Chain A
Amino acid sequence: MVDRNPWLSFFSHAVLILGVALVAFPLYLALVASTHTSTEIVQAPMPLLPGTHMWENYKEALLGSGKLGSNTNVVHMMWVSFVVAMIITVGKIAISLLSAFAIVYFRFPFKMVCFWAIFLTLMLPVEVRILPTYKVVAELGLLNSYAGLSLPLIASATATFLFRQFFLTVPDELVEAARIDGAGAMRFFKDILVPLSKTSIAALFVIQFIYGWNQYLWPLLMTTSEDMYPVVVGIKRMVAGGGEAAIDWNIVMATAILAMLPPTLVVMLMQKWFVKGLVDTEK
């Protein structure tokens, strides 16, 4: 910093502490609520310090006892979320690496048409075309399947553009050297380009995993069978029925904490790549 003004520095910390407190408050409250019995929570005001029923609540949430109006438990729902998030993440990264490689390193007829076709998908989130997409997936017989849950969400080009940007910065000399050494296109791709893209891949992994894990509208529409619900849809179902007082908020909050855990851990552990991925994708 240019000037060391202790008051300004103090003030900065004060603002940030206030900001963090406001941002963290809903999360703290969820955590506290997940450690009390349901009767303790519905008393106004609910306790603001952690209680002693954490273990029972999380066990109830994880394994379920049919009390929540569904027979599936959170362990199963989290498994569905995990599989879907992984298919979306790995699938998107794989097809995007290949198509970005084709676009940057080859010249072929209709290349610009392909490029713009892919580019167009950047603009329209699945929310805009839900009904017709639903019809297409239903006609293909993919309702209630992992393919149906993930493929329509892979159909967008953010990753392709990130890789394209990155490939354009790779020096041409590397290709020349590879060719002199007798390497073909795929050899160059596998042994040089993909290893060089490691950072971009890590960054995209974080962003796509969170995107896939947090999907709500699409799974809500296309899953009718309870054992295909991702955890995010499961939570909504828990609070959907009955009046607000009748909901077992302690179990709901325990489930919410469990559902937030994987994406939060991914963001915190891979913070560096996450930030890089965000800032690079958009520029």
Chain B
Amino acid sequence: MEKRVLFRSKWLPWVLIAPQLLIIGIFFFWPAAQAVLQSFQMEDAFGMSTEWVGLDNFRTLFADPTYLDSFYRTAIFSVLVAGIGIASSLALAIFADRIVRFAMVYKTLLIIPYAVAPVIAGVLWIFMFSPSIGVVAYFLDKLGYTWNHLMNENQAMALIVLASVWKQISYNFLFFLAGLQSIPKALIEAASIDGAGPWRRFWNIQLPLLSPTTFFLLVINIVYAFFDTFGIIDAATHGGPGQSTSILVYKVYLDGFKALDLGGSAAQSVILMCIVVVLTVIQFRYVEKKVQY
């Protein structure tokens, strides 16, 4: 990671790196350390006194069925978001890669959701699915299917999954398209001469060569489902009905800011941090090596 030719100065590199170190020190490491510290403490409701309680916060958390539920729901949610998102955008990218005419038009229209804020995506989707005024809910009703995500837990989950997938399709699509276009044309042509049809070529050449991209997107999509969907959930379901769509990051917010359980919320933050660190390590171990068959 180093250059052969280096500039020499004792103080200049420190001046250059100081602004970034200062900002991450104050707004990243300081709060992160506080979160870890707080997770071992119990604070009374008025913030007057704190008490060291060791692992009690963690024990309470893992004994709490709503927290375990939240774990389970986060897992289902992120698997659905990543799975549906990756599959549908791969399909779109495969077909977009095949065509020449209007390719730019399709691409431009497909990347717009990337620019939409998650919370606005949430608002757009409740507008379509609102049981009283939503146009999609209305037509579902005409087809004999009653939609009410305010009452039905599964429908609430389906709504946030759809909205989250919608928002993430652009990102996945761009990566798959870039991946497909970086596959050497000669490879495809050779297979074609050997008599492989489009399906065979996709299955035996393109898909295996896309495996690093797919794996990378899998990790990115899971991280996205874990954290970036906060706005969607807050606008669409508020974590309800009950706590049925209250995924981990939403619960940190609910318990910390709404219920003012600082120790519990901090413990949840620490657990979340551990999950992200693990995901990032996995990503770097595999993606940096560029898994390829």
Contacts of B121 in A (CB 8 A): 26
Contact with A along B127-165 (1 / 0, CB 8 A): 110111101001100000000000000000000000000
Question: Given A107-B2, A118-B24: A267 and B123 within 8 A (CB)?
Answer: no
Contacts of B28 in A (CB 8 A): 121, 124, 129, 152, 155-156
The reply to whether the CB of B207 lies closer than 8 angstroms to some CB of chain A is no
Q: Contact between A1 and B269 (Cβ–Cβ < 8 Å)?
A: no
Contacts of A264 in B (CB 8 A): 112, 115-116
Q: Contact between A16 and B252 (Cβ–Cβ < 8 Å)?
A: no
The reply to whether the CB of A249 lies closer than 8 angstroms to some CB of chain B is yes
Question: Given A23-B112, A27-B112: A131 and B35 within 8 A (CB)?
Answer: yes
Q: Contact between B127 and A249 (Cβ–Cβ < 8 Å)?
A: yes
Contact with B along A219-237 (1 / 0, CB 8 A): 0110000000000110110
| Shortest Cβ distance from residue B178 to the other chain A in the assembled complex, whole angstroms | 5
How far, in whole Å, are A268 and B21 apart by their CA atoms in the complex?
34
| Shortest Cβ distance from residue B27 to the other chain A in the assembled complex, whole angstroms | 4
The reply to whether the CB of B63 lies closer than 8 angstroms to some CB of chain A is no
Contact with B along A258-269 (1 / 0, CB 8 A): 011001101110
Contacts of A96 in B (CB 8 A): 20
Question: Given A23-B109, A44-B138, A130-B252: A98 and B27 within 8 A (CB)?
Answer: no
Binds A, one of B53-61, B69-77, B79-87, B169-177: B169-177
Chain B residues 97 to 138 lying within 8 A of chain A, measured CB to CB, are 98-100, 102, 106-121, 123-128, 130-133, 135, 138
The reply to whether the CB of B91 lies closer than 8 angstroms to some CB of chain A is yes
Question: Given A114-B17, A121-B24, A256-B120: A16 and B112 within 8 A (CB)?
Answer: no
Contacts of B130 in A (CB 8 A): 244
How far, in whole Å, are A81 and B14 apart by their CA atoms in the complex?
33
Contact with B along A2-42 (1 / 0, CB 8 A): 11010011011101100110011111011001000000011
Known A42-B132, A271-B107; 20 more pairs at CB < 8 Å = A2-B189, A12-B96, A15-B91, A19-B91, A19-B92, A27-B112, A29-B135, A45-B138, A99-B21, A103-B1, A106-B6, A124-B273, A130-B256, A214-B115, A214-B118, A216-B230, A235-B119, A264-B115, A264-B116, A279-B178
From B14, B100, B113, A23 is in contact (CB under 8 Å) with B113
Question: Given A114-B17, A117-B29, A131-B35: A239 and B235 within 8 A (CB)?
Answer: yes
| Shortest Cβ distance from residue A1 to the other chain B in the assembled complex, whole angstroms | 6
The reply to whether the CB of A58 lies closer than 8 angstroms to some CB of chain B is no
How far, in whole Å, are A8 and B198 apart by their CA atoms in the complex?
9
Interface residues of chain B: helix, strand, loop or mixed (majority): helix
From B12, B27, B249, A155 is in contact (CB under 8 Å) with B27
Contact with B along A154-192 (1 / 0, CB 8 A): 111100100010001000100110010000111010000
**26 A–B contacts, CB within 8 A, in A order:** A1-B100, A8-B98, A13-B102, A15-B92, A23-B113, A23-B166, A45-B138, A95-B19, A96-B20, A99-B19, A102-B12, A104-B2, A117-B21, A124-B28, A129-B35, A130-B256, A131-B35, A131-B38, A132-B269, A151-B26, A155-B26, A172-B4, A188-B7, A259-B120, A263-B117, A267-B112
> Which of B6, B16, B189, B220 has the most A CB atoms < 10 Å from its CB?
B16
Q: Contact between A124 and B230 (Cβ–Cβ < 8 Å)?
A: no
CB nearest to B141 among chain A residues:
A44
The reply to whether the CB of A275 lies closer than 8 angstroms to some CB of chain B is yes
How far, in whole Å, are A136 and B63 apart by their CA atoms in the complex?
30
Contact with A along B25-64 (1 / 0, CB 8 A): 0111111101100100000000000000000000000000
Contacts of A232 in B (CB 8 A): 117, 119-120, 231
Q: Contact between A123 and B117 (Cβ–Cβ < 8 Å)?
A: no
The reply to whether the CB of A278 lies closer than 8 angstroms to some CB of chain B is yes
From A26, A44, A95, B124 is in contact (CB under 8 Å) with A26
From B17, B115, B139, A263 is in contact (CB under 8 Å) with B115
How far, in whole Å, are A233 and B122 apart by their CA atoms in the complex?
12
| Shortest Cβ distance from residue A94 to the other chain B in the assembled complex, whole angstroms | 8
How far, in whole Å, are A278 and B112 apart by their CA atoms in the complex?
15
| Shortest Cβ distance from residue A20 to the other chain B in the assembled complex, whole angstroms | 5
| Shortest Cβ distance from residue B39 to the other chain A in the assembled complex, whole angstroms | 10
The reply to whether the CB of B66 lies closer than 8 angstroms to some CB of chain A is no
How far, in whole Å, are A155 and B273 apart by their CA atoms in the complex?
16
How far, in whole Å, are A144 and B189 apart by their CA atoms in the complex?
60
Q: Contact between A106 and B9 (Cβ–Cβ < 8 Å)?
A: yes
CB nearest to B196 among chain A residues:
A2
From B109, B119, B174, A24 is in contact (CB under 8 Å) with B109
Q: Contact between A236 and B132 (Cβ–Cβ < 8 Å)?
A: no
Contacts of A118 in B (CB 8 A): 20-21, 24
Q: Contact between A45 and B139 (Cβ–Cβ < 8 Å)?
A: yes
From A130, A160, A175, A275, B253 is in contact (CB under 8 Å) with A130
From B20, B35, B108, B124, A268 is in contact (CB under 8 Å) with B108
From A3, A236, A245, A249, B235 is in contact (CB under 8 Å) with A236
Question: Given A23-B109, A278-B175: A98 and B114 within 8 A (CB)?
Answer: no
